[in-house]
Structure 1
Amino acid sequence: MPPIQAPMYPISALSSHLLALLFSGSYVGSLYVVRNARISPAKGPAAGHQVVAGSRDDPSVIRARLSAVTFASAFNCAVLYFLVAKHSPPSSTHSFATTLALLGVRWPASVLSCLQTPILFLGPLYASYLASELPGQAGFSVSRDFFKVFTTWIGFRNYIWAPLTEEIVFRACVLSVYAMSGSNHWKMIAFAPLVFGLAHVHHAWEAYTRLGRTSAALKRAVISTVFQTAYTTLFGAHASFLFLRTSSLAVPLSAHIFCNIMGVPQLSSELMSFPARKNAIRTVYVLGIVLFCATLRPWTRQGSIYWHAPVDFWRAATA
């Protein structure tokens, strides 16, 4: 009996790792290659809400950085298209359509997949409700809390363009090449987010520069970056799961934007702000976690070219 041959995949595991590093390195590196996108040394603290020239929140720096990551994202998508065209069957004329499918350019089959992440934030949302800060409540202003947030360069970066380009590169492009190498989805969920988390390590240098390049600045920069790297890696695992389950970039993108808006939950400060509702807040926090775990699979149970055994992935993608 002839030996069973291993399934043939478009690229090797080593190639997928190198490509993932290329995608990550080109994205982060673009922020330093473009001269106007670099952070300048701090020139002293800003007065009030004034933005220091050359800082991360300087509009000219933001514009340069948005241009840089846009170019990097387009470059990475072009690399993915080249791989698809190179390894597609000779008779295939759908390389562009296949690339769009791998990038998750499709609407999710169910809106529930986009609502799955907000369930985890039931506790913070309940605290916002108690503070009358939700849309439609007395403490919410459309002008202040929406237009003045999303129409500024900082808001556009934080809540629109940075999430979009990061999801294209660190979710769609990175997971595409790992799937093309035959990695199963659990390995991708476990390891691919490390690329996303490590891509935030460069913020240590930016924080160190912004805080004055002192020993105290170095300590603060390291602590904040370790926390941010851990947080983004965990989020990356969740976003990878959503993308692999739905084959839709819209699902992890909506989760990314929502998490950026909500920020890190502040349970202790919420308990201090509403001492009479401590038990209720804790209960809703736990309820959110329970519902999040309960809906994680059923609300994302959709047809996906990624949620196949690796041997089926390339066949489904190029069909």
Structure 2
Amino acid sequence: MPLVFASPPISLWTAHLFAAFFTFSYVGSLYLAKSARLSFKKGPVSRVRDGEERERYSDERWRNDPDVIRARLLAASASTLLSVYAVYWLVQRVTPESESSANPWTALQSSLARLGVTLDFARNSPFYIALPCLVAPVLYLGPIYADYLSETLPFQRHWSFRSSVLPMVSTWVGRRNYIVGPITEEIVFRACMLSVYHMAGASRKKMIFLSPLWFGIAHLHHAWDTYNRYGRTGSALRIAGVQTLFQLAYTSLFGFHCAFLFLRTGSLAPPIVSHIFCNVMGFPQYGLHVRMFPRRRLAIQLAYLLGIAGYVYTMRWWTQADDSLFWPAPGQPARY
């Protein structure tokens, strides 16, 4: 259990400053090194049809180029470590001198617990980690059913380890999308950010519904990449704008989900697992699934509706830890 305080040890403005630092250091790290920056041909580029990517020139550096991904993953990992250290530094500053002198590990232990890194399962139910990790799959009951119909679920006819799993760990795009990206983003935008807002005494609503906006803001820089890849035309500008707004909305909504999981459980594991799972599944495509299997339309609709209902149920009953620092049981005093 981390060292706790009866009242918030930092101000809300301090938390805002730390949140801004976490966000802009993470995004900024992707552009510090030349090897991590994107580069596009200056001047006119090849014309393309509206809605299609243009031809990539040999001297350009695009987002999915392996060397760009390698450099960016290294930069993001370094920025994540810096954010974790910033939380440790802050906890160390607010830890009473008497506590730190009595136990030099107090600040470190408190920092790790606030970041959701704990193996203290004894105080929790056996399903402390497992059940919260299953909330996202419940929501995706509709898409999972469609995958079942497509026979692409594990061990079905159109699934194979070589084509379905191996690319996630053997390619740089897979490592970014399913390993390093989800882990570093959840550490920075959930663990680090929510820990400082909690120390500032921010309400649960603010932590769940406002802090994820930083996560959405961190994805706005993709607009420049989209605009260049689609030909730097008026159509490309519209595509970049629509995709950016959609991504801002989606990442913010997803941030609400992960923030709730983190606060309820006090653990970083459920948000990371949910992030990886949702990246693997992608955005639900109800219309596509109905067109693919018109005879199963009602069954698909029912699966989607059951997924939503199940999500509402499981978010309440499958996530409450016995003694979460961020979400104390009813009747228990707030701790910071």
- Distance in 1 of aligned mates of 2:55 and 2:133: 38
Quote the offset at 1:169 in angstroms: 0.4
1:54 maps to 2:61: yes
- Distance in 1 of aligned mates of 2:281 and 2:335: 35
Q: SS of the counterpart of 2:335?
A: helix
Residue 177 of structure 1 aligns with an amino acid whose one-letter code is: V
1:258 maps to 2:277: yes
Residue 118 of structure 1 aligns with an amino acid whose one-letter code is: P
Q: SS of the counterpart of 1:54?
A: coil
Any residues of structure 2 matched to 1:76-225 within 5 Å, and which? 76-92=83-99, 93=103, 94-106=106-118, 109-225=128-244
- 1:307 aligns with 327
Residue 27 of structure 2 aligns with an amino acid whose one-letter code is: V
- What do the CA deviations read for 1:189-242 (whole angstroms, capped 9, x no partner)? 011011111111111112112223222211111110100110000000110000
- Indicate if the aligned counterparts of 1:46 and 1:52 stay in contact, CA closer than 8 A: no
- What do the CA deviations read for 1:80-99 (whole angstroms, capped 9, x no partner)? 11000110122223111111
- Indicate if the aligned counterparts of 1:27 and 1:69 stay in contact, CA closer than 8 A: yes
- Distance in 2 of aligned mates of 1:52 and 1:268: 39
- 1:239 aligns with 258
- TM (normalized to structure 2)? 0.87
Quote the offset at 1:32 in angstroms: 1.3
What do you get for the CA RMSD once the two structures are aligned? Answer: 2.0
Residues 1:137 and 1:105: Cα distance change in structure 2 (over 3 Å):
same
Residue 72 of structure 1 aligns with an amino acid whose one-letter code is: S
Residue 60 of structure 1 aligns with an amino acid whose one-letter code is: D
- Distance in 1 of aligned mates of 2:34 and 2:88: 29
- What do the CA deviations read for 1:3-60 (whole angstroms, capped 9, x no partner)? xxxx64211011111110110010011111221111111676458xx99951100000
- Indicate if the aligned counterparts of 1:52 and 1:58 stay in contact, CA closer than 8 A: no
- Distance in 1 of aligned mates of 2:286 and 2:7: 50
- Distance in 2 of aligned mates of 1:213 and 1:98: 49
- 2:24 aligns with 25
- Distance in 2 of aligned mates of 1:200 and 1:275: 36
Residue 254 of structure 2 aligns with an amino acid whose one-letter code is: F
- 1:317 aligns with none
Moved over 6 A (4+): none
- Indicate if the aligned counterparts of 1:182 and 1:311 stay in contact, CA closer than 8 A: no
The number of aligned residues is 306
- Distance in 1 of aligned mates of 2:240 and 2:12: 34
Residue 150 of structure 1 aligns with an amino acid whose one-letter code is: V
- TM (normalized to structure 1)? 0.91
- 2:49 aligns with none
- Distance in 2 of aligned mates of 1:213 and 1:183: 42
- 1:4 aligns with none
Residues 1:46 and 1:311: Cα distance change in structure 2 (over 3 Å):
farther
- Indicate if the aligned counterparts of 1:116 and 1:296 stay in contact, CA closer than 8 A: yes
- Indicate if the aligned counterparts of 1:104 and 1:249 stay in contact, CA closer than 8 A: yes
- Indicate if the aligned counterparts of 2:129 and 2:269 stay in contact, CA closer than 8 A: no
* 36-45 vs 221-230, greater mean Cα deviation: 36-45
Q: Which runs of 5+ in 2 are unaligned?
A: 1-5, 47-53, 122-127
- Indicate if the aligned counterparts of 1:245 and 1:304 stay in contact, CA closer than 8 A: yes
- 1:39 aligns with 38
- Distance in 1 of aligned mates of 2:233 and 2:30: 23
* 34-43 vs 170-179, greater mean Cα deviation: 34-43
Residues 1:221 and 1:52: Cα distance change in structure 2 (over 3 Å):
farther
- Distance in 1 of aligned mates of 2:95 and 2:13: 20
Percent identical = 46
- 1:228 aligns with 247
Residues 1:40 and 1:18: Cα distance change in structure 2 (over 3 Å):
same
